[in-house]
Amino acid sequence: MTRSKYVLQGDRVLEVRDRRVMTSLEIWIYENDRPIGRHSALRLSDAASALAAGRDLLREAMERAAADLQAGALFA
């Protein structure tokens, strides 16, 4: 299941969305349901191991992306 988070940057509504690519999870920024760039990525095995230990690396990565957007940075 894909997770998403919406961020208002000026007059733009941007969406932070995860995308699974082979053995990784990538954090992408979308506008009007179109990808405008990749923010970051993490290995699927790292995310699964951390989740088993009670830490959600995907949520943390998405929050970083949203914070970067709110700070005015389009991509980290």
Task: Report the number of distinct structural domains present in the chain.
Answer: 1
Distance CA 35, CA 64 (A): 18
The residue range of the domain holding 56 is 4-70
Please calculate the CA angle 25-22-47 and round it to the nearest 5 degrees.
35
19 inside domain: yes
Q: Are strands 34-43 and 12-21 parallel, antiparallel or unpaired?
A: unpaired
40 inside domain: yes
pLDDT 10s per residue in the chain (76 long)? 688 999 988 788 999 999 999 999 999 999 999 999 999 999 999 999 999 999 999 999 999 999 999 887 765 4
75 inside domain: no
53 inside domain: yes
Q: How much is the pLDDT for 76?
A: 43
76 inside domain: no
